[in-house]
Each structure stands twice: as C-alpha cells, then as structure tokens.
Amino acid sequence: MQAGIRSLKPPLPPSEGLLLGMDVDGEIAAVARMSFDLDGQQLLILAVATQADRRNRGYGREALRRSLAVLAATKAEYEMDCAVWARIHRENRPSQRIFGAAGFENLGAVDAGDLEVWVQMFSA
C-alpha cells in the first residue's frame, strides 16, 4: 500500500482524498488515502501508511479515525447508503489490528489472493 502512496501524482481525482498526519516536529508521520465511487455505492480506504520510524505511536490509528470522519461526512453530504471498504494484505497484522479496532470486519480473501476484504457498516 505504501507504494501506492509513493506513486501518487497531483492532482488527485475529485472522488479521492489524501490525509497527511504530522508529528510534533512537522514531519509527515502517517498518510491515508480515501475515495468514493461516483455512483454512491462504495466508500473506500485505499491506504493507511505510517513512516517506518514513527510506527507504534498511534499515527496510523489516528489517520484511520480521521479518514472515517471524512468519509462519514461525505456519506452524509452525498446521501449515500453504503459501507466503508478496505483491502488489507493477509499478513499485515498492524493494519488488521487498527481496522478491527475501528469496527471493520474481515470478509476473507479476494479471488484466493493475498488481499482480504474488510468492511465497516456505519450510519451517517
């Protein structure tokens, strides 16, 4: 997922957002990329990444929390009736922990691959 963030080039599509989390030194500590489809069927967390030397300090958890708040506001603004979806590598335990703690449920593997689908049903 971090490769997907590193390869981003501005401008982002209108349906995407990028949230940057800064530490007390003004350095980027975490990044979250989110989106929604223009048909109003899905809200998506595309990536949550934490700078390697800033892991285990809550930056990723906070980036996810704030992303969910943005997506909840988007859901309300566009009167969407859908869940938030994410795909997490089956061996990415840190992401699984923070998404699980945020109320996401693991629905299993995608096409017998390494990615698992996670969903959070929330009301706007």
Q: Domain-by-domain residue ranges, the chain?
A: 2-120
Domain 2-120's class? alpha beta
**pLDDT for the residue 5:** 66
Q: How many residues does the chain have?
A: 124
State the average pLDDT for the chain. Answer: 86
Beta carbons of 119 and 103 less than 8 angstroms apart: no
In DSSP terms, which residues pair with 36 in a beta bridge?
A: 43
- The whole-number average pLDDT for the span 65-92 is 91
Question: pTM score, two decimals?
Answer: 0.85
Q: Give 113's contacts (C-beta < 8 A, 6+ positions apart).
A: none
